A and B are shown apart, each in its own frame.
Chain A
Amino acid sequence: QVQLVQSGAEVKKPGASVKVSCKASGYTFTSYYMHWVRQAPGQAIEWVGIINPSGGSTTYAQKLQGRVTMTRDTSTSTVYMEVSSLRSEDTAVYYCARSERVDGFDIWGQGTMVIVSS
């Protein structure tokens, strides 16, 4: 079946970096965009960015520009999101989600909790 499986929870200190993976299966990896969104505890969903697995092009939310990098490995159907210079405000559940167009995130990963704490 179609699914996205993310890597496990992370605890990081302020200023460190974190890299979260999202492995896709059950569909043609390069035929769908992959988005990353995050949700801080008790807060709304926030869009982080998008990667086109076909060519690797990316677009990031202005708020995280310069601190977030998205990459993909087509040989393993996996996308990665790295956030650097972590701050306490980056504490959130991070989700990957695919879309066929630029809207309609139809399949979601299970979420990865990232805690930033000294």
Chain B
Amino acid sequence: QSALTQPASVSGSPGQSITISCTGTSSDVGAYKYVSWYQQHPGKAPKLIIYGVSNRPSGVSNRFSGSKSGNTASLTISGLLAEDEADYYCSSYTSSSTVVFGGGTKLTVL
């Protein structure tokens, strides 16, 4: 099972919006509504920010939103804050009953 494809890095200025893509196949992202997104700050455990493609857990800012079209899922962060600078990972359930993660995207807030 190959990792989902994410851009290695994205950047944006405070207040702007950015979008991170996550491309899989018809056997994972394209097949299920089981796509999640995680935020990870250095030295910390990942934190769930989106599940089920577009659902936010309680306590997660509504500046984070998720969507999916075909084999590509997307995470959008609006109103960028300095604290959003982190690594972001997508994941998907697969037709093999496993889970696959993306390669991660480093977000830099300029």
**Residues in B neighbouring A109, C-beta threshold 8 A:** 45
Within 8 A of A (CB), among B57-101: 57, 89, 91-93, 96-101
Task: For residue B64, give the distance in angstroms from its CB to the closest CB of chain A.
Answer: 14
Residue A45, interface by CB 8 Å: yes
- Overall SS of chain A's interface: strand
Pairwise interchain contact B45-A44, C-beta atoms closer than 8 A: no
**Residues in A neighbouring B103, C-beta threshold 8 A:** 44
Kindly state the separation between the CA atoms of A102 and B100 in the bound complex, as whole angstroms. Answer: 11
- The residue that A103 contacts in the complex, of B40, B89, B99, with Cβ under 8 A, is B99
Pairwise interchain contact B99-A104, C-beta atoms closer than 8 A: no
Pairwise interchain contact A103-B102, C-beta atoms closer than 8 A: no
**Residues in B neighbouring A106, C-beta threshold 8 A:** 48, 51, 57
Kindly state the separation between the CA atoms of A106 and B56 in the bound complex, as whole angstroms. Answer: 11
- The residue that A61 contacts in the complex, of B45, B55, B93, B98, with Cβ under 8 A, is B98
Residue A35, interface by CB 8 Å: yes
